[in-house]
Structure 1
Amino acid sequence: MDFVSNLDPAWLWMIGGVLLLIMELIAPGFFLVFIGAAALATGFFAALFGLGLVPQLALFALYSIIAVMVGRKFYNVKATESTDPLLNDRSGRLIGKSVVAVSAIDEHSGRVRVADSEWSARGGPAEAGDRVRITGVEGNCLIVEAERRLS
């Protein structure tokens, strides 16, 4: 412990910066790299100019802000656009599908079977075993209407 207490604070900044960069390599999140770079720059300027603790902290804060701003500008990752607007909307993908009523459906309640699961439904009217078409979704309740049969 005596070694650390006699170590120049500039070296502590540099060691901390290198540790942060190593942590970014181990658990990438693309954030620690900026803080690590700010710590390295602070250590470099503290060693070069013999800065005290308060200027070192102010310099670290300034470098951190600058590093994050520069990183956001040059490494701005955009979400990949999909041609399917319902890609992650399971209930939205059900609209238009024909399903079977498990229990009687009226404007207040009912149940339908969708693949291997049952969903709450309302609309209809339909009796158990009738085929209904999903026309909409409200929360976790499917809005259905009785399927028209051609006779």
Structure 2
Amino acid sequence: MSLQMLSNPGLLWFIAGLALLLTELFAPSLILMFFGFGAWIVTLLYLLFDIHLPAQLIVFAISSIVLLAFMRKKLKPVFFGYVSSRQNSGQNIDDYFGKEAVVLVRIEPGKPGKVEFNGVAWDAASEVILDVDTRVKIIDRIGLKLKVVPL
């Protein structure tokens, strides 16, 4: 590559856009991609209209921000999955506290078992022995383990 080719703004914008898109592959934030597309828009406009540097910078900023503002929300489910398809994370203890579950694997003090809650098998602990099919009430959640008592 000659020095004259490297001083071509169209080529530099194209390379910058490609670098931003490749960076997006390794650090998926769904932000750099739009700046890469903004750089490619500048490349296209430079090749068609030979716009000068101040106009190139303005086109880059506006096109990148507009793409980011209007397209990120629409494309996010494509790259990260639909939120509606994910199970409720249940970070709030109120989602569990006082709810009923059924013992799947016998629970003994100091020896966790399993309970079924909302169709999901959870590790569970109790201070009393609980046999299989016993209905229990959830009194706490510690990490991914539920603390239960008999009903």
| TM-score, normalised via structure 2 length | 0.52
Give the unaligned 5+ runs of structure 1: 98-113, 117-132, 137-151
Distance 2:85 2:6 in 1: 54
- Could you tell me how far 1:19 is from its partner in structure 2? 0.6
Name the residue aligned to 1:87.
Answer: 90
1:83-134 deviations in Å (ceiling 9; x for gaps): 76x722247524469xxxxxxxxxxxxxxxx949xxxxxxxxxxxxxxxx95
Q: Which amino acid aligns with 1:48?
A: L
Which structure: larger Rg? 1
- Structure number with the higher helix fraction is 2
Distance 1:83 1:34, change over 3 A: closer
Paired residue secondary structure (2:84): coil
- Aligned: 1:43 with 2:46: no
Q: Which amino acid aligns with 1:64?
A: S
> What is the RMSD of the two structures over their aligned residues, measured on CA atoms?
4.5
1:82 to 1:58, Cα distance in 2 relative to 1, 3 A: closer
CA drift of 1:82 comes to 6.6
Quote the Cα distance in structure 1 between the aligned partners of 2:27 and 2:9: 26
Percent identity, please.
28
Aligned partners of 2:10 and 2:47 also within 8 Å: yes
Number of equivalences: 115
Aligned letter for 1:32?
L
Matched ranges for 1:1-151 at <5 A: 3=3, 7-72=7-72, 74-75=74-75, 77=77, 79-80=83-84, 87-90=90-93, 93-95=96-98, 115=125
